[in-house]
């Protein structure tokens, strides 16, 4: 969920549109854990917060990429 809420709020100016404190090694470990849990049967759930890296939606995409999911393009037309 994040370490220093006040610090990251100051860094981002409370604008949560970019990753300002990447946690690549931790995300790699999370993806590994999710993969192992899925293989064992349980459906894992993750809670992601803006205070972790600076943008919850982007952190979610970074985890999805590590899990091999297609990146979501919010500007793409669903009908295409």
Task: Give the torsion sign (CA, 7, 10, 16, 19).
Answer: negative
Domain boundaries, the chain: 5-66
Structure tokens at 18: 């970019």
pLDDT tens digits, residue range 20-78? 999 999 999 999 999 999 999 888 999 999 999 999 999 999 999 999 998 766 666 55
CA separation, residue 29 to residues 12, 52, 70, 73 (Å): 25, 15, 19, 25
- Cα distance between residue 44 and residue 33, in whole Å: 9
When pLDDT is cut at 50, 70 and 90, the band that residue 18 belongs to is very high
Q: What is the pTM of this model?
A: 0.81
Give pLDDT, residue 5. 84
């Amino acid at each position: 969920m994040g370490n220093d809420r006040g610090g990251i709020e100051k860094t981002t100016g409370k604008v949560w549109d970019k990753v300002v404190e990447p946690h690549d090694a931790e995300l790699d470990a999370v993806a590994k854990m999710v993969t192992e849990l899925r293989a064992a049967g349980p459906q894992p759930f993750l809670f992601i917060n803006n205070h972790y890296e600076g943008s919850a939606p982007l952190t979610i995409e970074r985890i999805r990429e590590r899990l091999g999911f297609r990146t979501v393009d919010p500007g793409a037309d669903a009908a295409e």
